[in-house]
Structure formats: C-alpha cells, structure tokens
Amino acid sequence: MAYSNQIREEELKNKVAQDFFQAYDTTPILGNVDFCVAVPSNGPQLFETEYLMWAEAKKGNKSNIEESFVQLVITIGKAHTFEHHLPPRFLGAFDAEKIAFIPYNNLLEIFHQNDFNWNVTPSDHSTKEFALIHERVKDILSHQILTFNFERDKKELEKFIKNNFIVGKSKLSKIRISKNNFVAIYQKWLLEVKPTINVDWDKAKKSGIIDADFYLADILSEHNVSLKEKLFVLLRESYYELDRKKNDLGLFTSSKANFLDEQKAHNQFWNRYSRPPKREYWDYIVERRDLLVPPDVRERKGSFFTPQKWVELSQQYLADELGENWQDEYYIWDCAAGTGNLLNGLTNKYRIWASTLDKADVDVMKERIKNGSANLLDEHVFQFDFLNDSFDKLPPRLKEIIDNEETRKKLVIYINPPYKEHTNAKQLANTGKNISGLSKETAAYQKYQSEMGTAARELFAQFMMRINREIPSSVLANFSTLKNLQAPNFRDFRASFRAKLGRIFLVPANTFDNVTGQFPIGFMIWHNNIPAEFYQIKADVYNSDAERMESKMIYSYVNEKYVIEWLRNFYDKKGHLTIGYLRMNGTDVQHNNQIFITNKLSENDIKYHLFTPVTINNIIPMCIYCTIRKVIDKTWLNDRDQYVYPNDLWIEDEFFQTDCFVYMLFDNAIYGSEAINHWIPFTEDEVGARDCFQSHFITEYISGKNRPIREANIFENASENNKPLEFSKEAIAVFDAGRELWRYYHSQPDSNPDASLYDIKMYFQGTKTMKNGKIQMKSDSDDKTYTELIHNLRDKLKILASKIEPKVYEYGFLKA
C-alpha cells in the first residue's frame, strides 16, 4: 500500500483512514491535531469520545518522524488538549511512506513540565522550544517508537492495529518471533538494521561472517543481550561481539562492531517484535541458519537445506542399494554438510563424519551435538574446503579410511553439494553472456577442467569429479540437477566420469528451501568401483507430497544428434525474401519459451546470432521446429529433456507439416508495425479489410503460387509441389476461429490493414507500465466480443496442439 508523494496532506489522511482505520471513527476534529482515531459510536454520544490515537501527518516521504512527534507534542501541549479530552492510547506520525506509533504514557511527563513556554508555533522547527522538546524526547523516541512502512510492512501494520487499537487494553501487543516468521522478519531487518551496523560486509563474508549471524544475535536476545553464548556473533546491549578466540596467552579476545546511528534504527525495528522466540524454537532457528544465507554464499557453500522427507527417502534408497545394515557396514562422510541436516536419522555416530566450508555451520553442528539434536561425534565435525583443501587436513581416522583400498570401498560420500550455475536462462536471454563466478577459482577446477570441459564451471560437478578420481571405489550418494546426466555441455564430463549408476529418484526442485525453479532434482547412488559410462536409466519419480508417480526414462543422448543439426539442413543462405526470423536458443524443453518466429530481433539476438531467416524455401521446416517446441508444455519433470534429430516419418505426413504451419500462423511474435507483415493468413475479402495488404505471401503460398521446387524433398514429389496445401479438420477449425477474430478487428474504425495477430491483441488488450518501467500488454480486455473470439481461437489451437504433441515423440524429436 504505497501512496504518491504528490498527493496533498488531506488526501493522504483520507487514504490512510480508509485503508487502515476503516473500523474506527476518524472524523473527530481536535483543535490543530492533524488526525484522530476514536472508538466508533453506535448511537448518540452519551459519554466522552474514547481516543485511540492522535497523530501528525505530513505529505511526501521526506519527513523526519522524530520531528513530527515533537511538532505533535507541542501542538497538544500548547492547546492543553489532554486536559479537555481523554488522552489516546497512542501518539502517531505518518507521511506518504511510513507511520510510527508510541504509547501516550511514554511521553506523559513531557506535558507536565513546569516553566515551559508552550506558546510557540508547533510547525516552526527552528525555535529554541522545539529544540528543547526534541532534546528531551529523542532518546525515548529512538528506543520506543514503532515504525511501519505502508507498502513493505502492510500486513504487520494491519495486525498491529487490530491487536492494539482496543479500548481498555494497556499492554502493548508486539509481533512474536516464531519459526514461521523469522525469515520474513530477516528480510526486513536487512533493509532497516543491517545498513546501520559498522561492518565491512565484503571482508566479513571472506572471513565466514555473514549478516545472518548478526540477525541471530538479535532475535535470540532479551533486553539487547544475546542469550546463547555459542552464537558466532553476540549482541552486548549497544554493540556486537564477534571473532572470539584465545590468544597466545590463553586469554579470550574478540572484535567489536558498533552502530553508525547510536543504535536508533536497531531499537526502532525491534520495538515492533517480541524477543526472544519461545525456547522450543531456538535450536530450530539456529539449525535453519541456511535460510538466511545470501544466495551467492548459499550457492557456493551449499547451504540448501534438504527437506526431511527427501532425507528419509534417500536413506531408504541407500538401504535398498547397500543392504539393510549399511549404516553399520559402511562409513559415511558428508563433505558439504551445512548445518548437518542430511545426516538426520543416521544411527551410528562412530562411523559418520561431517565437514563444511563455513566455520559458523561447524559451530551450529557442535551446538546441536551438545544439546542432543545431532547424533554426531564432536571430533568428527570439522571445517574443510573440499574443492581446495588437501586430504592431509582430514581427521586421521577418516584419512586412513580413504587411503586404504579395502576400507575405501566401504565409504559412502553422502552429499547435497553446492552449486554455482555458470549460466541461467534469464541471463542468457537478456545478455547472451555467461556469468563468471567462484567455480573457476577452485583447485578442483584447475585440476580437472581439461577432462570435464564446460561442466567444470558447475561446483557440484567438481565435487563429483574429485570424489571419482581421488576417492576411487567409494560410493557416491548425491543430490543434484540432471545436468550431469542429460545436458549437452556435460558430454565431456560424462565421458570422463566413470561410475555405475545404481538407484535414482527424482523430486521437484521447488520442494527445497530457497529454490523456486520448476525442474527436477535427482538423488543418485554411484558405484565408483565399477567404471561405466552413463547412457540411460529408468528413474523413480515422486511429487511434492512424496507420492510415487510413473517412472521416467533419463537419457544421456551420447549417440544422438540434436535437433539443431536437423534444422541446419534447411537454412536458406541464398538471400531469398526473408518473411521473418526463427529465434533459437537451446535444445532442451526448459528453453521452449525462448523459441518463436518474429520480424523484430533484439540487439542481443543479432550480436550472438540467435536466429535464422525464414523464407519461402524453408517456411515448413521452420514452422515444424517452432511448433514442436511450442506444443510441449514445460513441467518440472521434462525440464532437461533434449530435442534430437528426428526419424524420416515426418516427411510423408503432410497433415503433420501443415498442422505445424497453421499452428505458427496463429502463435507467432510478428509485429505488423515493425516491418511488412508477410504472415496474414487471409485475403482482404475474407476479413473485410479497409485497404489492401502490403503482402499476400501466406495466402499465395497456401494456394501453391510461386512455391519453390526445392521443397519437393519435404512433400512426396515435385509434380505435386504447387498444388494447394491441404489441412486437417483441426487446422481448418483454427482458420475459422482466426477469421472471425480478424473480421471483428477490421470492423473497427481505426483498424490497420496490415495488423498481425500481436497487433490485434495489443489493440484490444492495451498496455500497462510495470514497476521496472517497461511497457507490457495487459492480460485481458474489456471488449466482451473480442474476449470471446480470442478464447475460441486459443481453444482451437489447444486442440490442434494436442493432435501434434504425440507425433513429436512418434517422429523422434523427443525420446519417450
């Protein structure tokens, strides 16, 4: 709920009253007090009005809240309002951005000062009286006001008002921190408190200290003193203590971090919340520190908390693979342990080791051991950088197991490793560039990059390769994406990583905390003592509720050519009339939304050559390629499936070809306003156009006019090449629905004869400006006739797509 900086003060007061105080009476006018909230009266006013708040209001968003409170105090004191009316529960101050409250009683003594000159103008902030009041109340205000941002804290503000604007209530109700809200509160803490802590965050991060450690010190405190001494950072009333260690003399030393604003923002923020949480939540909150780790650190260190249901399932799969007594027969090392949750449920602590890059996570695990929530040995938990450190740094017993060929066969490396993706679809689509990251800075990258190729840019692949090479004959049980099994840029990795894949299951990635993408995460059990190249496997599949679904085949495509090689057969490099461009990117299902036909290329498309011209010589195969990408809906499970070189059955299926052709006529990104629109599927007479079209390419192509002989390799023979195209009943239904839409558009008085389907949708749906300033087409229209017609066209396209979809698999574009 944000308000414009341009609205006047009266309008602002009306909007605040309507949006947040609708259940109360905001009509009373009390002298020069800007805004009053009172208990509503259901009948004649028999008793005095009971006020809940008197407030100062300011337009814009630049007001100083403390000064607004001082002005309100002088306004009340000058008129002796508290002598003529029952004082309210709260005093308040607000502008277009924020609102603040303080209990009236906290400022009560200010109104009863002796020998104070109240006879000054409250709005004049330059008087000595204003300065005196400000000096007397600033400490109270800085420690006790509760401030809410109208937009960012809307729900919390509504809850505060509901819980505290109650007649007769004396105790202030604050929001209690719990295991359900501590992450959301952390996001607000980042904006309001973190900037006021005098810390060089980049240097701190390199030392293993992150902002979350300061936040944990805050929430697990009372009266600004941390209650858990084992935290990495401690709050000591007015400063933070960190980096505690023994010096050479055996004395404890520590570093100190102060506040930049005398702790003002810190106090105001925590005035809204009740600390600490219930004791029963403390261990959970510390254990779930991973939820507070910044994305860049989380990707590098692997702080992705594995949901308990997948922990339990993975351990069941290990038991099925290695035997019921595997925990007593095998040793286990989680070398990317985070706070150790993957090891929950394991029983034999004498055979388990846990290491992590982050010292703070080591401290968390040891604290969990101490309080009994982690079944580990303190000596078996240690800090270790798996991608850089030598195995000489390992605990002696673990090093002995790795060095001995026989015991190494009984070692399970059980991990949910970190990842740092070198590219992502959004970035590539926007810039065409890969991101650089810490993945190239590791010793493992330098050692194995030549064998792994571009897969070496992925941290989890570096983990897998080092384990495979340096802990041979061990068992690797890991969670990861399916890139190592399917992605084209992992071909070198698959050729070098030799191990037999045993059991595997797939689950939705977004069931993992901090992951929002729709793609599969696999749990795989690899036997490093059996050299083998991965080709294919049938994987078990579970939905987000851990319910078993149909199995899925996973292929490496090692002996397959990708669909782009098929498409290259139809590139037209002879300079024929270009009627559009096929925009291309990637060969897997996850990139399907980046495939389309357009006449408006971006600078990025041109710079990185992510396109090929569509001409009269290749329009059918270009439409086939685009359609097979469009009709397959991306799901979390098929995300990494690759399109490959098809068999020859499609060549003899003319209806398949023309179905794809029709589908693209009505599902493209052609802009009639950008260039000549060659994609109009009707004649002027059919749609009642007001003027001639600039191009009749499509209708002439359909009729057989000027169709080139070279397309005879697509159709059955050259003699039939110039006959009119024939269409299936589903394709004809799409034409009929489209014709009605075009006719309705051309009946409009300001229609453009050369309008494309995109232009028609833009005409009826209009545009909106997004928060980032970009102009975007609205999703719907107020025109009921248009809405009915476009829905009908979409329905017919869905029917056509459902006819094409099985042939995508039958003709080998995708493997079932």
pLDDT 10s digits, 70-109 = 999 999 999 988 877 878 889 999 999 999 999 998 898 8
CB 333 within 8 A of CB 411: yes
Any residues with CB less than 8 A from the CB of 81 and at least 6 apart, and which? Answer: 30, 31, 33, 54, 75
| Backbone phi, psi, residue 610, to 5° | -95, 40
Instruction: Return the SS3 of 612.
Output: strand
SS3 350: helix
Residue with tokens 């190494």: 408
In the chain, how many H helices and how many E strands?
Answer: 30, 26
Q: Which amino acid is at 94?
A: F
Structural domains in the chain, sorted by start: 9-164 (no CATH), 175-292 (no CATH), 308-555 (3.40.50.150), 563-727+804-810 (no CATH)
pLDDT given at position 49: 80
Q: How wide is the angle at C-alpha 572 spanned by C-alphas 567 and 574, nearest 5°?
A: 160
The CA radius of gyration of the chain, in Å to the nearest whole number, is 34
Q: In what order do the strands lie in the sheet with 233-235?
A: 233-235, 240-246, 252-257
> Residue 702's pLDDT is what?
95
Distance between CA atoms of residues 797 and 800, nearest Å: 5
Say how far apart CA 209 and CA 519 lie, in whole Å: 32
What residues of the chain score a pLDDT lower than 50? 46, 302-303, 422-436, 710-713, 715-719
Neighbours of 683 (CB within 10 A): 13
Other CB atoms within 10 A of residue 763 CB: 17
From CA 696, how far away is CA 684, in angstroms rounded? 9
Residue 294: the pLDDT is: 64
pLDDT tens figures, 582-640: 999 999 999 999 999 998 888 999 999 999 999 999 999 999 999 999 999 999 999 88
What pLDDT is attached to residue 557?
Answer: 94
Which tokens go with 58?
């300011």
pLDDT of residue 179: 77
Q: Which of 680, 662, 681 is nearest to 727 (CA)?
A: 662
* Burial label, 89 (beta-carbon count in 10 A; 0-12, 13-18, 19+): buried
413 near 464, Cβ under 8 Å?
no
pTM: 0.69
Sign for the CA dihedral angle at 529, 535, 538, 543 comes to positive
Check the CA dihedral 184-190-194-200 and report its sign: positive
d(CA 330, CA 322): 9
Cβ-proximal residues to 745 (8 Å cutoff; 6+ apart), any chain = 687, 751, 755, 760, 763, 764, 786
Q: Which residues contact 317 (CB under 8 A, 6 or more apart)?
A: 503, 505, 523, 525
H/E stretch holding 684: helix 684-687
pLDDT value, residue 430:
37
Residue 20 DSSP symbol: H
DSSP H or E stretch at residue 777 = strand 775-777
